[in-house]
Structure 1
Amino acid sequence: MLRSVVIVGGGTAGWMTASYLKAAFADRIDVTLVESEAVSRIGVGEATFSTVRHFFDYLGLDEADWLPKCAGGYKLGIRFENWHGDGGHFYHPFERLRMVDGFSLADWWLELGDRSRPMDRSVFLTTALSEAKRSPRMLDGSLFASGLDGSLGRSTLDEQRAQFPYAYHFDADRVAKYLAGYATARGVKHVIDNVQQVVQDERGWISQVQTAEHGALSGDLFIDCTGFRAMLISKTLGTAFQSFEDVLPNNRAVALRVPRETETDMAPYTTATAMKAGWMWTIPLFRRNGNGYVYSDQFISPEEAERELRAAVAPGRDDLEANHIRMRIGRHQDSWVKNCVAIGLSSAFVEPLESTGIFFIQHAIEQLVKHFPDEHFDEGQIAAYNRRIGNAVDGVKEFLVLHYKAARRDDTPYWKEAKVRDMPEGLRERLALAESRLLDEETIYPHYHGFESYSWNAMTLGLGHRPRTPHPALKHLDPARARAEFARIEAQAAEMVAALPSCHEYLAALND
């Protein structure tokens, strides 16, 4: 029977893994986490998917308790600015499209929508809340969307039925610290030390890690959470890495932590602003913003990128320290090799355009529990795990490439290159199909990757990649019910904007 797990590396990936394993297996599995004080944090994973709610509920953690301790805020979606090159914006929210007579409201909008009212404001409710910077919760803590509140309990991504309307922004370092307290209180052994050597047995399997001060740490299963270094999965086991640089251009980022000038001006969304050689993120935390510029060093130098970022978000604040990051975009061919599983950056990373970093961690942990081995390490189970992880990462890759291919920009060398750069063959087919009809669950990327058809359509329509004509069937249907649904969304949005507190007002009350 497999009894001991050694996690190498802390941070968000390490402590999410340690916490989840303890929540799942309690004292039936011994968990040790070893991390070095000398390793710096990447710190770009501050925005999440709405599905992260399953993780915290699985651990039995109350949002009202952990969120204030992690400088947390709400995220109703992502606001994309200047992706047309004209300074305009649109939203990709956490909200499924409503249906009328078998067709989505996006289909109906193409047929008869009021073009003076943008698509996303016509077919989604949460975009109005985003525009008004409203909290998704009333001051009494109740959720604006009835029937979705309450704990999910010990549920997983596979049990996601309803679309929860928000995710979180938080300080990733504080989340790691909070989860470290959770995990160690439940028996995780925390070793602060430097790993000097990874020891393998005669089969090439990892038998122990040798530390500077605590000696050898032995285990049955080893989890690599060492970030881009990939100390176990790559440096020790030599697992092949598949780069995505052929289809995703960005390989660097520079980040700043910026105090907000007006504390009450707190947005409940992530902002992704297109720049001349990449894009800039803005992630509102409770008392500051996280800002960063993701770019390709083929088109701009790190120094120039930092200057552009400072000019955009922190003019005159040369005292703010910039964090320059080299990004390794792609995934290992296998994230589970022998008795080693890579989770987090050591497994895979794509640029954080859709906030997928923590989603990848959560998905990997859940799949590890579902495929947890015994002492025989069944090869079929390991292969099944690797397929699911690889499929999810490849699906996100394809979805991100869509952002560049469908964007109506070609005004700089960077954006010109994005148009002629290679793309996954499946995406080529999907974009061609999207010129004649909206995508559905049968025509988007076919394997689980966290995004549903409404996300694909929100992006293609928002970016300006629309069907040449509306769906022909709609000309033969009575539009009365669709018009009523558009009016209902507008009325509900006005009612919610009037009733809900601002994002900052609610969170200030939660932080008291």
Structure 2
Amino acid sequence: MRVKNIAIIGGGTAGWLAANHLAVELRAEQDITITVIESPEIGIIGVGEGTVPHIRKSLMKFGISEADLLATCDTTFKVGIKFVDWMAAGPSGIENFYYHPFSSPYPGGIDTSSLYLQQAETTEFAEVTEVPGLAEAMKAPKKIESPPFEGPVNYAYHFNAVKFGQLLAKNAVQKLRVKHKLATIIDACLNERGEVDYLLTQEGERLHYDFYVDCTGFNSLLLGKLYQVPFVDKSAQILTDTALAVQIATEPACEIPPYTLAKAHQAGWLWDIPLTNRRGVGFVYASAHMTQEQALQGLAAHLGMDAERLSPRRIPMKIGYREKFWCKNVVALGLAQGFVEPLEATSIFVTDLAADLFARNFSVDKSGMSVAADYCNKVISYTWERVMDFVQLHYCISDRRDSDFWRLNTMEPKLSDVLTERLAMWKFNAPKKSDFFSRFDLFDVENFLFVLYGMKYKTIKKNMTQAELQAFTRELQNVRNTESFLAKELIGHREWIDGFLAAYKSMRPA
């Protein structure tokens, strides 16, 4: 039997990413209709404002121009994440920080980890890239003349998540023939084969489709409530479970950091994401180790504001994922599939990957569904497990012991077998590409290197020949030369954004 009608329940970033991926993959199937059903009553979380460079590939696939993204979504550039206070304070009490940049830690294609280990006490690992110096100088990663989606420094974006969803929706509807229906879905009914037969709206309407994509957020209406697919709880690994989120307007002339700030505190961390006109700030904490009032005071202190003036949005976070994301004629994406705290911009990344994987493996013939489902479920379960490992890595290798939260994370961590094995290996040998044998390790050797050695993980030094030392030193000097050159060639982040927006506006009809 052929699939002809697909319903995506829920809009937002997840729903519209799914619509674009499916519509592109099925564009030759003229008899297939894709409909996004969006409730006018249910809002979206709307705080997933950081991305990784992979999003550029998806935007190009969809046919969305970088110019439209920059102009319509309050977008800024992101060259990486600046981690502050994830290590114990030194004798001077000065805050410590390291960068996880998007640039490669292999300058000239050479593995510099052995050289770094020789100089670990005096060298920051991220200095094997040009990013820290340029980021601290608030430089844009692109030149004025850089082509779309390209620049001398690798980058992703920060953007207004609500506006990004609207941009995805406009593209899907206007360019890719996706239909948009407003309705609030309250239930669904199964047929005799155990498949979803129809959706029931708040108004009593029955909506029949052949396939359903559940993007109903934490509610997980179809996969969670209807099919009761078990939830794999990861709260023992990731202890944070709550976030307080606010949006703070910024002055038009203020500098825009080209990075996400991730600053640790006694019971978690906070994000600070700069857009063109505001900052999105979220205070992430473990409610078992900090009260909401303490969290509010911590958020206020970071912002330099009185707590009484703040009315943050409280976001409970259920850490884990569904045992399967594809069941019968239902696939779940976004929060309906799983969630881990937003460290390292995991939410949009996993959603984008899962939507792409699903769309590429989708069969218009129902007889091919079960094989595709089995394969995709294995892939996504593996992906979630490794994402959990990478997030937990930031906590478990810290040398902070200043609170029960940090002592529990570092002295009694509940690690997966894979992370346990890898950390044991990396005490004797620096991470290698071959340690990551699956392309579905979304965070691979390069990411782990920056976090491990940004946090001064102890790996035994290797003896090196004089020739090796000279070669590595030469490559690092090339990086410094490149950084000095780009520091002169690249303009400020705010200057680039303002110049672009003025040019974009001048080219648009009044």
TM over 0.5: yes
Please state how far the C-alpha of 1:223 moved relative to its aligned partner: 0.2
Structure 2 residue aligned with 1:283, among 265, 273, 295? 273
For the residue of structure 2 that corresponds to 1:479, the secondary structure is helix
Matched, 1:327 2:327: no
Structure 2 CA distance for partners of 1:208 and 1:91, relative to 1, 3 Å: same
Structure-2 residue corresponding to 1:359: 349
Structure-2 residue corresponding to 1:90: 98
Please state how far the C-alpha of 1:277 moved relative to its aligned partner: 0.5
Matched, 1:384 2:375: yes
Contact 2:141-2:153 at 8 Å conserved across structures: no
Structure-2 residue corresponding to 1:271: 261
Contact 1:32-1:189 at 8 Å conserved across structures: yes
Gaps of 5+ in 1: 151-162
User: d(CA) in 1 for partners of 2:322 and 2:10?
Assistant: 18
Structure 2 CA distance for partners of 1:164 and 1:238, relative to 1, 3 Å: farther
Structure-to-structure mapping, 1:64-83, within 5 angstroms: 64-83=67-86
User: d(CA) in 1 for partners of 2:31 and 2:101?
Assistant: 40
Structure 2 CA distance for partners of 1:28 and 1:67, relative to 1, 3 Å: farther
Paired letter, 1:298: A
Structure-2 residue corresponding to 1:199: 189
Cα offsets for 1:376-411 (capped at 9, x unmatched): 243222100101111111111111111111112111
Paired letter, 2:346: T
- What is the aligned-residue RMSD (CA, Å)? 2.0
Structure-2 residue corresponding to 1:393: 384
Paired letter, 1:19: N
Structure-1 residue corresponding to 2:134: 129
Structure 1 residue aligned with 2:336, among 346, 359, 370? 346
Structure-to-structure mapping, 1:76-475, within 5 angstroms: 76-86=79-89, 87-98=95-106, 104-111=111-118, 116-121=122-127, 123-142=128-147, 149=150, 165-185=154-174, 186-213=176-203, 215-261=205-251, 263-316=253-306, 318-373=308-363, 374-419=365-410, 420-444=412-436, 446=438, 448-468=440-460, 470-472=461-463, 474-475=464-465
User: d(CA) in 2 for partners of 1:378 and 1:15?
Assistant: 22
User: d(CA) in 1 for partners of 2:84 and 2:45?
Assistant: 25
User: d(CA) in 2 for partners of 1:116 and 1:389?
Assistant: 40
For the residue of structure 2 that corresponds to 1:15, the secondary structure is helix
Identity %: 28
TM-score by length of structure 2 reads: 0.92
For the residue of structure 2 that corresponds to 1:273, the secondary structure is strand
Please state how far the C-alpha of 1:149 moved relative to its aligned partner: 3.2
Q: Which moved more, 1:261-270 or 1:169-178?
A: 261-270
Cα offsets for 1:203-252 (capped at 9, x unmatched): 22101111134822211110000001100101011101101011111111
Please state how far the C-alpha of 1:447 moved relative to its aligned partner: 5.3
Structure-1 residue corresponding to 2:22: 21
TM-score by length of structure 1 reads: 0.92
Matched, 1:2 2:22: no
Structure-1 residue corresponding to 2:506: none
**How many pairs does the alignment contain?**
491
Please state how far the C-alpha of 1:142 moved relative to its aligned partner: 4.7
Paired letter, 1:485: E
Gaps of 5+ in 2: 90-94, 503-510
Structure 2 CA distance for partners of 1:315 and 1:331, relative to 1, 3 Å: same
Cα offsets for 1:148-183 (capped at 9, x unmatched): 839xxxxxxxxxxxx981111001100111111112
Paired letter, 2:117: L
